[in-house]
Structure 1
Amino acid sequence: MSYLKIDRVVKSFAGPGGRENVVLQDVRLNVEKGEFVSIIGHSGCGKSTLLNLVGGLMQVTTGAIKLEGAEVNAPGPDRAIVFQNHSLLPWLTVYDNVKLAVDKVFGRRKSRAEKRDWIMENLDLVHMTHAMDKRPGEISGGMKQRVGIARALAMEPKILLLDEPFGALDALTRAHLQDAVMEIHARLGNTMLMITHDVDEAVLLADRIVMMTNGPAATIGEVLDVRIPRPRDRIPLSTDPTYVRARESVLRFLYERHRLVEAAE
């Protein structure tokens, strides 16, 4: 049994005049425990919709999504989502933003001391213990995303869902956070599903890259295994033949899809 199973999923919305607008059509994907999967495709291909379905923020029209055999039909702490917008509460400190999630998930299952240790452990994972008493307005965008990741990890989810979490950051900050995510994945061995527009990011981080066809009624066009050993170092990888081939494969798929859009216009 697959850890996460997306089985023949269709997602549609009611359009003008009662017409059905099909966003996703017959999406099938199995994700194994500990796997890092990136989903890539052109705008409008339903990437974020698919992530929201896995997160339980939307319900499938037909088909099913199962995590460890249990059907996903509502949000839950077993699926933590990190969005492009960090969504931190501005009046709370870094520590208290993470504490909010820990209190919600663990309640009375952990003592006050255990919860504090757990919060500090997760802040340490993203190298943010030094800023634990600062508020979001006092730290950079990259630091805010680190706190968002710490808050998500502190929920001890079965799967971490990342919706273009670095899309609004500058290139250098983005690179540092990519390295941080690789370090976290290596240390915890957790399951990650990430939406991205960035080909290099997908190849650098993922074990597999899921390439979506164009919308409407998008589906999975190709799935690429990224056979690059871990740990990965971005500098030597830039000339690594396996990395270059994987990058070319994704780019070719995306350019072919782009030509289909232009031909239809």
Structure 2
Amino acid sequence: MSKHYLSIEGVNKFFGQGAKQSCVLKNVNLNIKKGEYISIIGHSGCGKSTVLNIVAGLLPATDGVVILDGKEVNSPGPDRSVVFQNHSLLPWLTVYENVALAVNKTFKKTKTAQERHEWILKSLEMVHMSHALDKRPAEISGGMKQRVGIARALAMEPKVLLLDEPFGALDALTRAHLQDEVMKIQAEINSTIIMITHDVDEAVLLSDRIVMMTNGPEATIGEILEIDLPKPRNRIEMADNPKYNRYRQAVLRFLYEKQRKVEVLTSAEKPKSTQASLKKAASA
């Protein structure tokens, strides 16, 4: 049994059958500590969301296993909450009712009605949405909708919060405000978070480690970068921080230089695996 809080062990994922079968993920291995903020970054089609969906229990792995807090993940569960790029709120319910739906389902047997009510209010307070309890999704902005989605996910008290490009559809200013909110919330409740992103600055600002995926097919983890910067992080201060900028450059170098070398080697030498190709590229 894994000693890590969350372990992704030897995960492969194939889609299709027979001659049309394709390998999307190959030998993905990742160990995550409790309270870590992990970002997964890579080009489109590299299997980032597939990894997230396997951890969420929304997709089965073809091979390998995901273990969370000593238990194998093989289906969705309240111990893993997902926030997607689109808020997915129910339009006929108010802000309060959208969060209440998750809280009542998760804690019906363990919290009294009053305790559930207080926890719904606390969850919305964490994302600064207490003023909009009675509004419906059509009456609030896109950023507010995403705040409610995050509140709903956190209200389930998940062991792992899974964020699939949660800020991708927002304007730059709203995105920055929500990133700051997520940083504050994680500092307050020590959530374990896995976030999918295309944004290098977002990954460096928020993460303890950045997991960089190689391009598909047969995508795998190419490199893992530890971000040794004190928290909480101030985005204005980080802009002039040499260490921050070195981390940013390291991610860009992998995405646009090392990954290109991998593709060249794969084409010219046809190594046995993407991981073998990556090792050759990294030492070049």
TM range (shorter): over 0.9
Deviation at 1:44, TM superposition (A): 0.3
- How many residues are paired up? 263
Q: How does 1:45-194 map to 2 (within 5 A)?
A: 45-194=46-195
Aligned 8 A contact 1:5 1:65 in 2:
yes
Partner deviation per Cα, 1:75-120 (whole Å, 9 max, x = no partner) = 0000000000100000000000000000110113211111100000
> Does 170-179 or 103-112 show the bigger shift?
103-112
The separation in 1 between residues aligned to 2:128 and 2:262, in whole angstroms, is 43
Q: SS of the residue aligned with 1:134?
A: coil
Match of 2:280 in 1: none
Distance 1:109 1:66 in 2: 25
Q: Please state whether the residue corresponding to 2:31 is helix, strand or coil.
A: strand
User: Is 1:259–2:260 an aligned residue pair?
Assistant: yes
Code of the residue aligned with 1:137 in structure 2: it is A
Task: Report the counterpart of residue 12 of structure 2 in structure 1.
Answer: 10
The amino acid that maps onto 1:243 is Y
Alpha-carbon distance in 1 for matches of 2:162, 2:196:
8
Partner of 1:178, secondary structure, is helix
8 Å contact 1:42–1:214 — kept in the other structure? Answer: yes
- Matched to 2:204, the amino acid is V
User: Is the 8 Å Cα contact of residues 214 and 259 (structure 2) preserved in structure 1?
Assistant: no
**Whole-angstrom distance in 2 between the partners of 1:92 and 1:260:** 51
Contact kept in structure 2, 1:84 and 1:164, CA below 8 Å: yes
Q: How far has the Cα of 1:239 moved from its partner?
A: 1.0
Unaligned ranges ≥5, structure 2 = 268-284
**1:203-224 deviations in Å (ceiling 9; x for gaps):** 0000000000000110000000
Q: Partners in 2 of 1:261 and 1:63 — Cα distance?
A: 25
Q: CA deviation at 1:19?
A: 2.9
**Could you tell me whether the CA contact under 8 Å between 1:214 and 1:257 is conserved in 2?**
no
Q: Do the aligned residues in 2 keep the contact of 1:39 with 1:211 (CA within 8 Å)?
A: yes
- Alpha-carbon offset, residue 202 of structure 1: 0.0
Mapped pair 1:31 → 2:32: yes
SS of the aligned residue for 1:192 comes to strand
Q: Structure 2 counterpart of 1:3, which letter?
A: Y
Aligned to 1:216: 217
**What secondary structure is seen at the aligned counterpart in 1 of 2:196?**
strand
Q: Could you say which residue in structure 1 is the equivalent of 2:204? A: 203
Q: Partner of 2:246: helix, strand, or coil?
A: helix
| Structure 1 residue ranges (4+ consecutive) displaced by more than 6 angstroms after TM superposition | none
Shift of 1:58: 0.4
Relative to the length of structure 1, the TM-score reads: 0.97
Structure 1 counterpart SS, 2:78: coil
| Local SS of the residue matching 2:115 | helix
**How much is the aligned-residue C-alpha RMSD, in angstroms?**
1.3
Greater mean alpha carbon deviation, residues 252-261 or residues 188-197: 252-261
What TM-score results when the alignment is normalised by the length of structure 2?
Answer: 0.90
Q: What is the alpha-carbon distance in structure 1 between the residues aligned to residue 105 and residue 223 of structure 2? A: 39
State the identity as a percent: 65
Q: Secondary structure at 2:77's aligned position in 1?
A: coil
Answer yes or no: is the 8 Å Cα contact 1:55–1:161 preserved in 2. yes
| Local SS of the residue matching 1:81 | strand
Give the conservation status (yes or no) of the 8 Å contact 2:40–2:194. yes
**Contact 2:167–2:175 (8 Å) recurs in 1:** yes
Aligned counterparts of 1:42 and 1:251: Cα–Cα separation in 2: 11
